[in-house]
């Protein structure tokens, strides 16, 4: 019992393991940009630059149009349109010329164009897919609008006809893009679709009046004046057919119809109240104005009824 080992008498001292020195944190370099990452960044930057360019182009085009309009109104020294081309573009030049009051619609169209220009320039619209598709076409219509006013000032009636036909084609192309890319918000409808629609509807009628002025002044023999009423009625019927086809193709849009109906209404007033007077043309124009508005309303009502039927089923 007494011969206890030293190991039993004295407790064993604990063994301490020396601490390892703390290693320094390894600084990791940021991941290198891969080709896809670089391409994506470059593509995003290029896209933003392209969007900004589009907005600036629209602003520039509409500014040009407004300056040309002021010049065409005689404000900046130009000759008023009604006095150009020996009066061929005045409200009393042909049986299809609208009364002077009809041209006040240009003020409405210009106001809508200004509103659209400001709206599309907002940062929220910079990357809009719809504006990417329609911005440049609308800018083209503004440029052609301004060019028509300059053509009326400095060139011939034939050049004005060619210019307004080009404008009509550009507006038709633009409205087609809008139909294929429906608006998602009320703002898109108001600032873009209504603007283009009013422009298209009025230019449709203005093209007819401009072409008639050219034919009357430079092409048709004097003897055709005896058949002016018959030709005028025939042309109005064609306008109604074009407006109806446009309403069908655009899904019953009302803005183009309202602008065309406005022009037809004032053709009727002009032929009823001022020279060259023609009661048959006046009555035909008023009936045509009503039809032009009724067609899109019927199409809209049918479409609305179909939507309600689908919602109930």
Above 80 in pLDDT, residue 224?
A: no
CB contact burial 177-188 (16+ within 10 A = b; e otherwise) = ebeebeeeeeeb
Q: Which of 236, 214, 222 is nearest to 280 (CA)?
A: 236
pLDDT over threshold 50, residue 6? no
More reliable by pLDDT, 41 or 71: 71
Check residue 39 and give its pLDDT.
56
More confident residue, 309 or 119: 119
Inform me whether the pLDDT recorded for 21 exceeds 60: no
180-197 tens-digit pLDDT: 999 999 999 999 999 999
For position 85, what pLDDT does the model report?
Answer: 87
How far is C-alpha 265 from the chain's CA centre?
24
**Cα–Cα dist 206/97, whole Å:** 9
Identify the sign of the CA torsion 188, 293, 174, 108: negative
| pLDDT of res. 127 | 94
**Cα(146)–Cα(64) distance, rounded to whole angstroms?**
7
**pLDDT, mean of residues 61-72:** 95
Q: Is 43's pLDDT higher than 70? A: no
């Amino acid at each position: 019992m007494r011969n206890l080992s030293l190991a039993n008498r004295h407790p064993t001292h604990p063994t301490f393991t020396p601490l390892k020195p703390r290693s320094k944190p390894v600084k990791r370099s940021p991941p290198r940009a891969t080709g896809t990452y670089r391409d994506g960044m470059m593509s995003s930057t290029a896209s933003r630059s392209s969007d900004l360019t589009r907005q600036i182009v629209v602003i520039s085009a509409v500014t040009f149009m407004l300056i040309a309009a002021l010049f065409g109104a005689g404000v900046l020294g130009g000759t008023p349109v009604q006095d150009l081309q020996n009066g061929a573009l005045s409200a009393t030049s042909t049986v299809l010329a609208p009364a002077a009051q009809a041209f006040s619609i240009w003020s409405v169209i210009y106001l809508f164009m200004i509103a659209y220009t400001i709206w599309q320039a907002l940062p929220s619209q910079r990357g809009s897919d719809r504006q990417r598709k329609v911005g440049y076409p609308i800018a083209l219509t503004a440029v052609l609008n301004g060019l028509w006013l300059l053509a009326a000032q400095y060139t011939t009636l034939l050049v004005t006809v060619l210019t307004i036909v080009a404008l009509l084609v550009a507006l038709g192309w633009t409205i087609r893009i809008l139909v294929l890319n429906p608006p998602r918000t009320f703002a898109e409808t108001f600032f873009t679709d209504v603007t283009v629609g009013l422009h298209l509807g009025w230019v449709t009628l203005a093209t007819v009046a401009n072409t008639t002025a050219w034919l009357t002044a430079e092409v048709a023999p004097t003897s055709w004046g005896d058949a002016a009423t018959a030709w005028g009625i025939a042309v109005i019927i064609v306008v109604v057919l074009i407006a109806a086809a446009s309403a069908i193709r655009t899904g019953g849009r009302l803005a183009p119809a309202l602008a065309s109906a406005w022009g037809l209404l004032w053709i009727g007033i002009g032929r009823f109240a001022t020279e060259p007077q023609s009661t048959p043309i006046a009555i035909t124009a008023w009936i045509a104005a009503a039809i032009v508005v009724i067609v899109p309303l019927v199409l809209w009502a049918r479409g609305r009824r179909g939507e309600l039927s689908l919602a109930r089923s």
